[in-house]
Amino acid sequence: MLPVALPPDTPTVNPKDVALYEEFGYSAWHIGAGTDYSKDPATVEPYDKRTDLAPDYKSAPNAADLLSFFAITDIHITDKESPAQVIYTGWSAPSGSLPLLNSAYSPIILSTTQVLDAAVQTVNALNKKSPINFGISLGDNINNNQYNELRWFIDVMDGKLITPSSGAHAGADTIDYQKPYKAAGLDIPWYQVLGNHDQYFTGLAYETEKTRKAHVGDTVINLDPNVLGSGWNGDTSGCYMGVVDGSTPCGDIIGAGPTALFSTPPKVVADENRHALSTTESTSKNWLAEFFHTSSKPVGHGYSRENLDNDFACYTFEPKSDIPIRVISLDDTDKPSATETSQKYIGGGGLDQARHDWLLSELQKGQNDGKLMILAVHIPILPLKFPTTTDPKEVESCFAHVDEEKALLATLHNYPNLLMVIAGHRHMSTVTAQPYDPSLPNQGPVNSFWEVETPSLRDFPQQLRTFDIRRNSDNTISIFVTNVDPAVTEGTPAAKSRDYALGLKRTLDGSAAGLAKTDSYDYNAELVKQLTPDMQKIIANCGTPIE
């Protein structure tokens, strides 16, 4: 999908002015040549062939298909009627505000389950044309650590009947995004990675007594109106955060504004299914447990009963028994102690000693076993700052402590069988080359790897990624990474969500240059990786030959 360029004199629209998005063209887009991959893979946008990590590559043709999978991430299934969301912070923001504020409010919160269902239907259609071996969600399935949000996510993947509302269920009989529907359900196995929003309040803070009560209470939470900008303090107040009125077509926000404007606190119908998943003992154990209550495959979606018993959200799996590729699913979300005060928020990356040691052990096992490895995480590891960045030194730290992040990146270069890191979190399509350090002994091009980020299903351009791994005739590896627009039917909540996502992005930009942009924000590439002589011998006859 391509935005339609708007003239510089287009009237200013603020994030909350949803009805004006269409009127002034903020949500206007069209399908361009080569963007509708969901209908015909032959129309995919061109691939940027990347050989910068493979200096010995000599344009060898693709010889065999090894593995195909898809990734979704940052779906942010949202209970829009929950009194514990922080909607006001983004809803009240003016045009040109920081993009961070869209995590507080975007009109796409009206139909997050329907967008996920559209993505699932698209994957099923692609799988019928060319088999996809598995899927993986790279975290932030949900927005605010709520039980009902996670059940909606799993139930959509399972193909259950979805009631996409809570509390009073206002508009359930009359408003399209509120009406119950039967989800399609995913036809192929899928796996899971843990994200920060899955386990923390708004993805940024430990749940407190105040926030826990707000989840299941009948009163809209009262917080500092600048709660996303001034540093988290759950004991502050000053503004009611608001909820969506599900009986209105554009999801009007009610119960939002400074405390002084209300003679009595704004109320909602309480709903126990909104309870926080995290506890004072664990942020992840209840979240893990829900993946065993599923009808899609595999039960646990990568997690074992041992993971649950030990409250440890890391595991490995091998998608195809006859292909030497192993996926390492690592929980790299920061988990500081409750007394640590070195950061304002929890929301970045970090590894404690147990996860660090486990990762090194699994990487070494993969190396010893002659397996190519894919490291699946939520938080990227020193990626390029923007998708359009050309300076390889212009990177963004995504961990709470950058020294730890740099050390982890250096460690990963010790394992030449590592093909790539796949990540979510930043809602971007960035592909980062992670080259080896030539100043270190015993390293060379085989120690380089790729880092590929999958964009968010929540925010523009609302895409997923497919990954096709192929053996080349010279026994190098090509990884084809492709952005996919979920197929949506005109007039449906999922289609309207796409309009809203683009409209909000333009309001947050607010500039004439931003309104004039027609960038799809896609990035498709063929990523070439060199292998060690030993690994070349192992894969020499692997895969389905390409005619």
197-245 per-position pLDDT tens digit: 999 999 999 999 999 999 999 999 999 988 876 666 777 899 999 999 9
- Predicted local confidence at residue 33, as pLDDT: 64
* CB distance 265 to 190 below 8 Å: no
* CB distance 353 to 307 below 8 Å: no
What values do phi and psi take at 64, rounded to 5? -155, 145
User: How far from each other are the two terminal CA atoms of the chain, in whole angstroms?
Assistant: 32
Strand 431-434 with 418-423, pairing: unpaired
Q: Domains in the chain: how many in total?
A: 1
Positions of the chain with pLDDT lower than 50, given as ranges? 35-43, 341-343
Q: How far apart are CA 294 and CA 189, in angstroms?
A: 12
Nearest to 191 by CA among 159, 157, 145: 157
Quick check: helix, strand or coil at residue 371? coil
Nearest to 138 by CA among 449, 465, 441: 465
Q: How far apart are CA 324 and CA 318, in angstroms?
A: 8
- Predicted local confidence at residue 37, as pLDDT: 44
Residue 235 burial class via C-beta count within 10 angstroms: exposed 0-12, middle 13-18, buried 19 and up: exposed
What values do phi and psi take at 9, rounded to 5? -90, 15
Q: Alpha helices, DSSP H only, in 339-492?
A: 353-368, 402-412
Range of the domain at 404: 2-545
Q: Per this entry, what is the length of the chain?
A: 547
Nearest to 3 by CA among 32, 29, 38, 40: 29
Q: How far apart are CA 465 and CA 208, in angstroms?
A: 36
Give the position of tokens 């949900």. 142
What amino acid is encoded at 205 in this protein? A
- Predicted local confidence at residue 341, as pLDDT: 46
pLDDT digits (tens, 9 = 90+) for 299-330: 999 999 999 999 999 999 999 999 999 999 99
State how far the alpha carbon of 292 is from the alpha carbons of 164, 289, 329, 330, in Å.
22, 6, 17, 19
Task: At 72, list the tokens.
Answer: 């979704």
- Predicted local confidence at residue 463, as pLDDT: 96
State how far the alpha carbon of 64 is from the alpha carbons of 483, 488, 541, in Å.
22, 33, 9
What amino acid is encoded at 448 in this protein? S
Nearest to 254 by CA among 265, 211, 15, 148: 265
Rg (CA), the chain: 23
Question: CATH number for the domain including 359?
Answer: 3.60.21.10
- Predicted local confidence at residue 390, as pLDDT: 82
- Predicted local confidence at residue 344, as pLDDT: 60
Quick check: helix, strand or coil at residue 256? strand
